[in-house]
Amino acid sequence: MGVIDHQTSEKAALILLSDDDVSVRRSLHLLLRSRGFGVLSYASGTALLLDPQTQSGDCLVVDYLMPDIDGISILRKLRSAGWCGPAILITAHYADKLAESAQEAGFAAVLEKPLRDGVLVQTIGEVISAGRKVGSDHC
């Protein structure tokens, strides 16, 4: 297995992680930290949107279905606020229509839960190292 460089400008990439399921959020947080990422975790989309630190995030990883706001709406609000980083939508309810909506909103990838080992880390590494600013025209 190859080593993926998770560095952006000599600092660890900062991942914005939002999932309302505490066990999923905690396990993903620990996984990403163990792989060298900085992580800001949020129990709700509203908490993420209210935190001024989100503007420093290098990549968004967000659950689609949350009680307060869905993941696609979160990305749209971040884009409206000027955030232009790549975003990954995670969902237990994958459907082609959802993937199309996510792509139109600017998501670089849609991953289905439960996440297979290494898929999230690999996807984050790819979208960050490729410098993908998907949806930057929405900024």
Q: What is the pLDDT of residue 131?
A: 67
The reply to whether 126 falls in a domain is yes
CATH of the domain at 89: 3.40.50.2300
Q: What is the pLDDT of residue 8?
A: 41
Whether pLDDT at 65 is above 50: yes
Q: What is the pLDDT of residue 3?
A: 39
Mean pLDDT score across all residues of the chain: 89
The reply to whether 105 falls in a domain is yes
The reply to whether 101 falls in a domain is yes
**The model's pTM:** 0.88
Whether pLDDT at 10 is above 70: no
Name the residue range of residue 82's domain.
Answer: 11-131
* pLDDT, tens only, 47-58: 999 999 999 999
Q: How many domains are there within the chain?
A: 1
The reply to whether 54 falls in a domain is yes
**Nearest of 128, 75, 68 to residue 104 by alpha carbon:** 75
The reply to whether 6 falls in a domain is no
* pLDDT, tens only, 71-101: 999 999 999 999 999 999 999 999 999 999 9
Confidence class of residue 130 from pLDDT cuts 50, 70 and 90? confident
SS (H, E, C) 6-75: CEECCEECEEEEECCCHHHHHHHHHHHHHCCCEEEEECCHHHHHHCHHHHHCCEEEEECCCCCCCHHHHH
